Amino acid sequence: MTNDSGNTLLALLVGAAIGAGVGVLYAPDKGVKTRKKIKKKAVEASDDISHRITQATEELTKTAEAKKVDFEQKLEDTISNMSYKADDIISALEKKLVDLKNKNAQLQK
């Protein structure tokens, strides 16, 4: 979940909680009933927020794990490619060394 999505979700939840609270306060019920409704709505909102946080945490954990696996695979591929290139460089240097030895032997004759 991106930061903008998290902010939007938080704003939505806060707005819904405030709207529910204002709606209950303007309802034509007695004070006891109103307080019970407010408490019930607060518990429901708390449970909903807890559930959404749990879901977001699980989603972020899955995303982080997937990115970790992807990174490890790319790193392994890069190291493998570098190993092949190192082998190519070593082979080229060995050929160059053989050529230099041959030239040196000709010059010493």
Highest mean pLDDT among 11-15, 49-53, 82-86: 49-53
Structural domain includes residue 30: yes
User: 36-57: per-residue pLDDT in tens?
Assistant: 877 888 888 888 888 888 898 9
Q: Is residue 13 within 8 Å of 49, Cβ to Cβ?
A: yes
Is 69 within the bounds of a domain?
yes
Locate tokens 């972020």: which residue?
A: 60
Asked if residue 21 belongs to a domain, the reply is yes
In-domain check, residue 86: no
Half-sphere exposure of 84 (CA within 13 A, CB side): 5
Could you tell me if residue 49 is inside a domain? yes
Residue 14's nearest CA partner among 69, 62, 52 is: 52
